Structure 1
Amino acid sequence: MKIAIIGTRGIPNHYGGFEQCAEYLALGLVNRGCEVIVYNSHNHPYQEDVWKGVKIVHCYDPENKIGTAGQFIYDLNCIFDLRKHNCDIVLQLGYTSSSIWGWLMPKKTIVTTNMDGLEWKRTKYSEKVKKFLRYAESLGVKYSDYLISDSIGIQNYLKETYKVDSTYIAYGATLFENNKEDVLKNYDLRSYEYDMLIARLEPENSIEIILDGVAKAKLNRPFLIVGNHDTPYGKYLKQKFSSFLQIQFVGGIYDINVLNNLRYYSNIYFHGHTVGGTNPSLLEAMASNSLICANDNDFNRYILGNDAIYFKNADDIVNHLVNVKYEENQFQSMLSENKRKIVDQFDWEIIVDQYTNHFKDILKVKKSII
């Protein structure tokens, strides 16, 4: 099979969840004998034409010059280039800035789209933007031959809203076993004597609620916020909590080994995401043996079930920070169950196999029609 992956800033990952997904998928598909093309922004740090057997196509991306509108131009450039290749399948990761160009997709190529989360629910967007995102979502459904949902919640939503079926394939993770305590020295931390979160600094990730709880708890224990804070909302949070010295904004960290070690040795790992499907950072926390305190919503409970502690407000955060200790026996079964889920359900090899089978199935349907 010849497969193209579009919708990301490119690989190797230097940005976020879909880029990480594209990286693991591309490598896994190449190892299974597929020919794989991944589209990269021309601004991507990796400038070669091949990466570990994956063909890289660089397309002009003016986002750094003109902002969000540049994403639409970048996606259009990718689709135009895609028309030059005789691919069997296009895997589209997300739809936000690409679905308006869906009618330009090569007609003989099967388009299957991972629909991501419910982007229009994000509180950072104005009503006008939310309206556009719902429209873009509908176009993503319209111009795709097949749909992929990375959570049961998204699968149910697509069925109820658009009366369409989708294939459930979760995000993936790899069980983390390369723990090295010396990573903590760079952050002046001691094992199990700090708490943390990893997220984009956006309102729907409950960061302000969590930090309100940290402030109210009045503990001296360090609290790490990992994520780019050079944004308007990041600056607002830094200013609001500037007097609380235990709250440390450490910026974005993209070395997965460093992230996994920070998760592994934390006391409580907070996951405040309220929008989306199977969140990558949640699975990575499970794979890193983290004691997870998650926002109490269906998306998180689909994955964690009873193997986490939950919060709804800042008072819940205070209660957990004051009373929960990672090493207490009552939490060890949660950690074991979450690691078992990674091995049995979410390991990247399993996820790549599911994508491979999905591609084979839809290609078989096309050939039977021809």
Structure 2
Amino acid sequence: MKIAILGTRGIPNNYGGFEQLAEYLSVGLVTKGHDVYVYSPHNHSYREKTFKGVNILHQYDPEYKIGTAGQFIYDLNCIRDTRRHSFDIILQLGYTSSSVWSRLFPKSSIVITNMDGLEWKRTKFRNSVKKFIKYAEQLAVKHSDYFVSDSIGIQQYLLDNYQKESTYIAYGAHLFNDNSVDAIMEFSVKAYEYDMLIARLEPENSIETILKGVELSNSKRPFLVIGNHLSKYGNYLKNKFKDPRIHFLGAIYDIYKLDNLRYYSNLYFHGHTVGGTNPSLLEAMASNSLICANDNQFNRSILNEDAYYFTNEKEVRHVLNSVLKTAQNDFMIENNRQKIKHDFAWDTINNQYEALFTRCLKTRTKSAK
């Protein structure tokens, strides 16, 4: 199959979850013999025309000049370029800045959209933006041939609100087995004697609730907050939480350091409330983290009973006061590792996407006869 992937800030990944998916999926599909193209911004740090056998199609992206509006122009450029190729499959990752142009997709290609999370619910957006994102969601539903949901919750949402069936395919992760206590020394912490979270510092990720729980707790362990804090909300958090146990470390992109920090933490807090299968949650599971997660359908559908849960700061306090990473909860850690091995391994995810593409193409071929 000749396959295009668009809707990301390009590969190799230096940004986030969709970029990670695009990288691992595209490389995986190439190894299976498919002809794969990934769209990337013209100013991506990787300037070559191929990456591990994947064709890179650089398109002009003015976001660096004009801000968010540039994302719409970049997506327009990508979609217009798809008309120059004879793609069998176009996989669109997300829809917020692309679905307004979706009528321009070539009719000869099958358009499959990964619907992401419920973006219009994100608290960082003002009401007018939320209304637009909801409209963009409707356009994506209207102009896509097939859908991918990265969580059972999103799959049910599409069925309930649009009467649209979708294929559930989660993100993937690699099991982490390269632990070394030396990797955490620079952070002035001791193995299993600190708690932590890794997230974008945004209200819907429960950062404030978790840190209030830290303040209320009797724990003497350091609490590491990893995520870019050079923002309005980041400054708000730093000014509000002066507790000496709380350490804002900023963004860390070295995956080896992140995996080791997760591995040697006592408790790893995952506060995401919006979206589907979150890549950072899978990475925590793959890194032997003992997880305490916000209690919602997205997190429970992945973790089941193999995590502690919270809904407010008092419950965070209780977990911090009462839970230590010991042999008693090793079964939770091992159960989560087995989920990564069997359900969320990248080979599994790649196989699921390939199977979906094949089914869609066969269905179109049959209907054309």
TM tier, shorter chain? over 0.9
The answer on whether the counterparts of 2:218 and 2:321 sit within 8 Å (CA) in structure 1 is: no
Corresponding position: 1:58 with 2:58? yes
2:305 aligns with: 306
For 2:289 and 2:53, how far apart are their aligned partners in 1? 34
For 2:108 and 2:253, how far apart are their aligned partners in 1? 37
1:347 aligns with: 345
2:99 aligns with: 99
Letter aligned with residue 69 of structure 2: A
1:358 aligns with: 356
SS in structure 2 at match of 1:210: helix
Letter aligned with residue 277 of structure 2: T
For 2:218 and 2:76, how far apart are their aligned partners in 1? 50
- How far does residue 28 in structure 1 lie from its aligned partner after superposition? 0.5
Letter aligned with residue 248 of structure 1: H
The answer on whether the counterparts of 1:29 and 1:356 sit within 8 Å (CA) in structure 2 is: yes
SS in structure 2 at match of 1:341: helix
Q: CA RMSD in A?
A: 1.1
1:111-150 to 2 correspondences below 5 Å? 111-150=111-150
For 1:142 and 1:257, how far apart are their aligned partners in 2? 42
The answer on whether the counterparts of 1:295 and 1:311 sit within 8 Å (CA) in structure 2 is: yes
Deviation track 1:311-359 (CA, whole Å, cap 9, x = no partner) reads 11111111111211112x3311111111111111111100000001001
The answer on whether the counterparts of 2:102 and 2:139 sit within 8 Å (CA) in structure 1 is: yes
1:188-227 to 2 correspondences below 5 Å? 188-217=188-217, 219-227=219-227
For 2:239 and 2:20, how far apart are their aligned partners in 1? 31
Structure 2: which 5+ residue stretches go unaligned?
none
- How far does residue 218 in structure 1 lie from its aligned partner after superposition? 5.1
SS in structure 2 at match of 1:346: coil
315-324 or 112-121, larger mean C-alpha shift: 315-324
- How far does residue 131 in structure 1 lie from its aligned partner after superposition? 0.9
SS in structure 1 at match of 2:252: coil
Percent identical residues = 62
- How far does residue 289 in structure 1 lie from its aligned partner after superposition? 0.9
For 1:245 and 1:24, how far apart are their aligned partners in 2? 40
1:76 aligns with: 76
2:34 aligns with: 34
1:188-337 to 2 correspondences below 5 Å? 188-217=188-217, 219-241=219-241, 243-327=242-326, 329-337=327-335
Q: TM-score, normalised by structure 1?
A: 0.97
For 1:49 and 1:105, how far apart are their aligned partners in 2? 23
For 1:51 and 1:258, how far apart are their aligned partners in 2? 25
Deviation track 1:8-52 (CA, whole Å, cap 9, x = no partner) reads 001111111111111110111111111111111122211111111
SS in structure 1 at match of 2:25: helix
Provide the aligned length of Structure 1 versus Structure 2: 368
Corresponding position: 1:67 with 2:67? yes
Structure 1: which 5+ residue stretches go unaligned?
none
For 1:201 and 1:66, how far apart are their aligned partners in 2? 23
For 2:70 and 2:323, how far apart are their aligned partners in 1? 45
SS in structure 2 at match of 1:106: coil
The answer on whether the counterparts of 1:15 and 1:254 sit within 8 Å (CA) in structure 2 is: no
329-338 or 12-21, larger mean C-alpha shift: 329-338
- How far does residue 245 in structure 1 lie from its aligned partner after superposition? 2.4
